[in-house]
Amino acid sequence: MTSRPPAPPVVVVGAVPLAPADVVAVARHGARIELDGAAMDRVAASRALIEALADDPQPHYGVSTGFGALATTFIAPERRRQLQLSLIRSHAAGTGAEVEDEVVRALQLLRLQTLATGRTGVRPVVVETYADMLNAGITPIVREYGSLGCSGDLAPLSHVALAAIGEGDVRVAGQTVSAVDALAAAGIPPLVLEEKEGLALINGTDGMLGMLLLALHDIEMLLDTADLAAAMSVEAQLGTDAVFAADLMALRPQLGQATSAANMRASLRDSPLVASHKDPAECTRVQDAYSLRCSPQVHGAARDTAAHAALVASRELASAVDNPVVTLDGRVESNGNFHGAPVAYVLDFLAIAVADVASISERRTDRALDPARSHGLPPFLAEEVGVDSGLMIAQYAAAGIVSELKRLAVPASVDSIPSSAMQEDHVSMGWAAARKLRRSVDGLSRVLAIELVTAARALDLRAPLQAGPVTGAVRSFLRNAGIGGPGPDRFLSPELEAAAQLVGSGEVARVAASVTPHNGGDPRS
């Protein structure tokens, strides 16, 4: 998915923590990377500390010892390169389907940022190699399963490190090639890892954090789209916009709710359809159903959940996650900052919110198709009732997706399976939480697309009454994109796929924003 145009063409790494937009720019849009000079000086200084410890006859974890349950095993100097190489080879044990390029690029970038903090003890050449690989478009192949979200995303990050040493396979311009050939073509010498470096390349929450940042980017756009879709449903089903008034929202000062209500007011502003039944003599209904009336409350709660997740993500972006870590005063200390719990919790929380936004969207779609509740629309919005089925099965598709989203909302982070001979006896499952959230976000985009297709057809069937400027513009956009209106039954799947692409790409949200008033209209409207 994408919901915004490409960010600036160059992202500087190491001067300040990356912004979420920087991660999206590099992961999705191929923005180039530059390394901050002062950061590279810090990297060199911390490396000097590690090299001093490497010469110490006393064992130091990650520098002159084995890893995990083997941390008490001292490794002689002449075996330490082999130790680092063995670590990467053994930990690159992912299995399953290949992970999306944007996810791999995000975790590459986030690991690069941590390396550039100077808190991991790697040599400058390691930092430079990761930056060069990203700039050359070399994307290591990472597989679906392998991370427990504690000791970091070990297997996914190991596959990236494996490519950096010239082993395994990568993708370049969509083609699978060997890592050694890709590095050679780009003029990048394969890394030969020294003490501590293998561990520094794999001990972080970068995979789950990258997926969180990408999901937050998409969810922000999809919540705007959900507000638009809800407004179209309200309009098409002859609902009222009075319940979205700013003064009513102020009685319950939830920030997200106020934002969604303002969006819906703006989308419905100057709608002839809404105005057609404002007179109590023309409308005998006292209240709309919850799925219409409570849309801002549900969408707003999801917005507040996303805001909390964004706060956690911002803190993680400012972190240097490694074990052991080089402290600001020059100590090398073991720690537990690699545990993914903070990120895993909000990934799971977002999956709950996404499922609920999709659920209320599907209910609005279903109401539009039911003549007992749609206030004058034909059954299933069909052309010839009985002969045509209209959008009957489109609602089935939405219902099936919502059911799947409910299953995906079951938290991954409440599970834990001990590993590494009980040394790592509690894990976060944050990677799994991130993987299912990506599927959830895709599902939400499809459910909203079905609602938009349904609401647009319902608006057509309200003629000669006209939609408002915003909703009418979106309907016209869908029509111009080949998503047809009322008529005899036709092959519907291509239109639903096209609508899902327009929603997921952010095109629908952009069209609506281009014609939406900057305020929500009169506070009582």
Query: What residues are labeled active site?
Result: 61
Strand partners for 74: 65
The CA-based angle 204-132-17, given to 5 degrees, is: 45
Bond preceding residue 488 cis, omega within 30 of 0:
no
Report yes or no: 305 and 351 within 8 Å, Cβ to Cβ: no
Phi, psi dihedrals of residue 241, rounded to the nearest 5°? -95, 0
Token pair, residue 17, equals: 């923590």
Single-letter code of the amino acid located at 304: D
The CA-based angle 429-432-438, given to 5 degrees, is: 145
Single-letter code of the amino acid located at 32: R
Strand ranges inside 162-210, DSSP E: 169-172, 175-178
Q: By C-alpha distance, which of 402, 514, 377 is closest to 454? A: 377
Residues 6+ apart with CB under 8 A from 501: none
C-alpha distance across the termini of the chain, in Å = 34
The CA-based angle 471-437-153, given to 5 degrees, is: 145
Q: Label residue 150 left, alpha or beta by phi (over 0 means left) and psi (-120 to 50 means alpha).
A: beta
Bond preceding residue 464 cis, omega within 30 of 0:
yes
Token pair, residue 123, equals: 């040599």
Q: For the CA atoms of 369, 373, 379, 382, what is the dihedral angle to 10 degrees?
A: -50
Strand partners for 32: 10
Rounded to whole angstroms, the Cα distance separating 254 from 304 reads 8
The 3-state DSSP class for residue 437 equals helix
